[in-house]
Amino acid sequence: MFGQRLRLLRKMKKMTQQELADYLQVAKTTISSYEKGVNEPSHETLMKLADLFEVSTDFLLGRTDIKERHRESSPLMNRLMLSEEQIEKIEELYEILFSLEDKEERDKIIDTAILFANGVKMRKRQQ
């Protein structure tokens, strides 16, 4: 679980294994072994990863699917008046979408979701 989440978060941040290795001051092979599940990081490295990716260590370790990072509300989120739960759902959708390596497939899903959301808005206005 840890290796899969590390790989996903690294790719979402558009980092290479080498860039992450440089950040952690370890060899690229160390990152590869983490992602393959061969080795696990030290407590200190785990904390650095959680800080870098702005997730909880429990999320990294697969103990929860909720990131649970406390963050200050952004002006945009305040204007949208989204609850923490809604923000977390949006973040989960973002993770799912950007875990797809096929950009064309991802874009098609996003376009379809936008069309669907606009259709729902139109029906609500008509009622």
At residue 70, the pLDDT reads: 47
pLDDT digits (tens, 9 = 90+) for 84-116: 787 778 777 877 776 777 778 877 887 787 777
| Model pTM above 0.75 | no
Query: What are the domain boundaries of the chain?
Result: 2-61, 82-126
pLDDT digit string (tens) for 1-17? Answer: 788 889 988 888 888 99
Lowest average pLDDT, out of 7-21, 37-51, 57-71, goes to 57-71
Query: Distance between CA atoms of 33 and 48, rounded to whole angstroms?
Result: 17
Distance of CA 2 to the CA centre of its chain: 13
| Fold observed for domain 2-61 | 434 Repressor (Amino-terminal Domain) (1.10.260)
Both structure tokens of 93? 């959708």
pLDDT exceeds cutoff 80 at 38 = yes
